[in-house]
Amino acid sequence: MEAAAALSCTAQTRESSPPGGREEKGPPERKVYMDYNATTPLEPEVIQAMTEAMQEAWGNPSSPYPAGRKAKAIISAARESLAKMIGGQPQDIIFTSGGTESNNLVIHSVLQHFHKAHTSEGDAAERRLLGEGAMPHFITCTVEHDSIRLPLEHLVEEQVAAVTFVPVSKVNGQAEADDILAAIRPATCLVTIMLANNETGVIMPIPELGRRVAALNQQRVASGLPRILLHTDAAQALGKRRVDVRDLGVDFLTIVGHKLYGPRIGALYVRGLGERTPLYPMLFGGGQERGFRPGTENTPMIAGLGKAAELVTENCEAYEAHMRAVRDYLEARLVAEFNKKIHFNSQFPGTERLPNTCNFSIRGPQLQGRLVLAQCRTLLASVGAACHSDQGDRPSPVLLSCGIPADVARNALRLSVGRSTTQAEVDLVVQDLKQAVARLEGQA
C-alpha cells in the first residue's frame, strides 16, 4: 500500500460518557483524504532516500572527505532526476526552499535584469526605444497563486513596475493567448501564467503561448526591443500529467516537491541559466548553486525531491490514468446522488483539466462549502486553495473570475484525489456528503 493510503485510513475515536461517568471508546471513524492539491504524503521510497542521506551523507557537500563527496553526488543525481522529469538540462536546475521562493526569484530576476539593461551598462538602443525611466511591465492572470500575485502587486504599490492582470475566459476558464498577447507593451519583460490552476484544475495554453511569444520575440529583437521572458508555475501539473519544457517553450518553470509526494522544498528551471536566461540572486553567501541560491544545501530534502521526480518520470502515465478513472467515478456518483443539485465548477467545454481535480457545488441556501465540510465525518477536503483557508464564507475569487455565480461559488468544494484513492473510498465520501447535506437541510 502506498504512503497515501495511510491518510485514507486515519482513525479518529469518538468518545461517549455513559451513566456512571466511565468513558468508553467507540469504533474508529474512517477518514478519507481528498485534498491532494493542497499537499501529498511522502512516498516510502522518498522517505528511504531522505533517511539514507541523513545517515550516510551528513557531510557538507562542499567538503572533500567521503561524507561530503557523498552529499555532493546525491545532489547531482537529484538535479539530473528533476531535469529528466521535465525534459530539461541538469545545469538549468536550481534548488530552492519551495514554490514561493522560486516564483519570487523569477520576478526579482526579471526586474533586476530590466533595470540593468536600462542603465548606463545596458543597451543604448533599447533605452531610446523605451524612453528614459521606462517602467518594466509584467503580465499575469487573475487566477494565479498568491506567490505570483502578491509580489507583483507589491511592485505596483512601490511604483517600480506596471502589471496587467489578464482575466480568464468565462467560457473555458483559461487565460487565453490572444488576450495575453494583446496586453503586451514595448516595456513588457515577463509573462507568468500557471500551467494548471489549483482550484479548478484547468490547464492553461502554455505551449501556444510559448510559440507565439517566441515568434513575437524575433520581431522585437529585430526592432531593438527587449525579449519577453515566459514563466510557468507547474506546481499542480507535475506528477499528474507529463510536463516537458521543450513543448511548453518556457524560460522559467517552478517545481514544488510537496505536490508530487516529495518533501517541502522546490526547484526552479531556467533555460540556459545565466547565458540565455538571466537569474539574479536574492540571497548572498557561500556561493552554493553557482551563487544563484547560496546556503549550505539541504541534502536529505534534495535527495527526497530527486526520488519523487524519479518516480514521476517512471510512473506518470499510470498515476494519471488511475486518478482520472477515480475522479470520473466520483463525478458520476455525485450526479447519481444529488442529480440537478450538483454544479460542476471546473467542467468547461473543450478545456483540458487535471485528472484528479473535481470542483463542485451542491446547490442550496444552507449548503455553503465550509458548513458541508464541517458536517462531514469521513471526508477530509477543502473549499479551495489551502493558503486561502481563512477567508470564511467568501466565495473563491478564482471561481468568480471563471464566471461562477457568487451563490454557487460560496457552496464550492474542491476534491482532489491521489495515487491510491479507490472507488470504495469515493462511495464512502459520497455517502458522507449525502448525510452532511441532510443534516444541514434538516436544521433549516
- The residues annotated as belonging to the active site are 387
* C-alpha cell read off for 390: 481563512
Residue from 407, 397, 426, 427 nearest 367 by CA: 407
Residue from 415, 408, 384 nearest 199 by CA: 384
Residues 6+ apart with CB under 8 A from 390: none
Contact, 357 vs 346, CB < 8 A?
Answer: yes
Q: Specify which residues 270 forms β-bridges with.
A: 252
The DSSP secondary structure of 13-41, one letter per residue, reads PPEE--TTS--EE-PPEE-EE-BTTT--P
**Given the C-alpha cell 461562477, which residue does it identify?**
404
* C-alpha cell read off for 67: 561524507
Distance between CA atoms of 205 and 180, rounded to whole angstroms? 11
Distance between CA atoms of 411 and 396, rounded to whole angstroms? 10
What sign does the CA torsion over 235, 240, 244, 250 have? negative
Q: What are phi and psi of 146, to 5 degrees?
A: -60, -25
Other residues' Cβ atoms within 10 Å of the Cβ of residue 6? 13
Distance between CA atoms of 100 and 306, rounded to whole angstroms? 19
